[in-house]
Amino acid sequence: MEYLSQLLTLSGIVLLACISPGPDFVAVTSNALNDRRSGTFVGLGIACAVVVWATLAILGFGLLIKELFWLYETIRLVGAAYLIYLGARMLITSFRSRNRELRVGRASRVSGLQAWRQGFIVGITNPKTATFFATLFVTVLPVGAPTWVYVSMVALVGLITAGWLGILAAFFSVGRVRSVYMRVSRGVDALMGAALVGLGIRLASSR
């Protein structure tokens, strides 16, 4: 019963972290507005990356990465560069493409693997996720907890992340939401692109 309470506490904290807007939110919603399938696969890619970070945190890598400054900085700068690249690409597309139907056609041809890979890269190049889980697990989970507790926590992290991002993908791909988006697509794409660039710059300048 003691471990169940701690798992519930950790699950609540993870859910709040997922809900907090950030690169994950922008990556999923920007894809879901074009194609629900793409948004869903981006979310699954992010969830897989989060599971990797949670597993590494349990194995002690999360604490290690906090101490290895060069490794943390390398991952952080790669992640920032990728977010800026995604944002810049969206900005260029929003200004160059006047025919929305052509843009939708291009977006719908993105394979599930490509969308998953985009999400995975967004998630795996954020070292703050590793330090978040390392700090969270050390703070909340008791020392010497049985293996099933750690396995359950990693599974819950993956399910919560995939579930929340899946909900976002479903909502932003609803016909009415997309119809509104179609009317203001260039402005929304420009806003999403600027948000990704801003998040990338923020990640690059943070310590």
- Which residues, other chains included, contact 81 with Cβ-Cβ below 8 Å and sequence gap of 6+? 200, 204
Tokens linked to 162:
């995939």
pLDDT tens per residue, range 102-158: 344 444 456 788 999 999 998 888 777 777 887 777 677 766 778 888 888 899 999
Give tens-digit pLDDT for 189-204.
777 778 778 877 876 7
**Overall average pLDDT of the 160-170 stretch:** 93
Q: Report the percent of the chain where pLDDT is more than 70.
A: 79
Instruction: Report which residue type is found at 141.
Output: L
Position 13 pLDDT exceeds 60: yes
Write the CA distances from 153 to 3, 12, 111, 142, integer angstroms: 10, 12, 31, 13
What would the 3-class secondary structure string for the chain be?
CHHHHHHHHHHHHHHHHHHCCCHHHHHHHHHHCCCHHHHHHHHHHHHHHHHHHHHHHHCCHHHHHHHCHHHHHHHHHHHHHHHHHHHHHHHHHHHHCCCHHHHHHHHHCCCHHHHHHHHHHHHHCCHHHHHHHHHHHHHHCCCCCCHHHHHHHHHHHHHHHHHHHHHHHHHHCCHHHHHHHHHCHHHHHHHHHHHHHHHHHHHHHCC
Domain segments of the chain as ranges: 26-205
* Percent of the chain scoring above 90 in pLDDT: 19
Average pLDDT in the chain: 79
Which tokens sit at 185? Answer: 């697509």
pLDDT of residue 133: 80
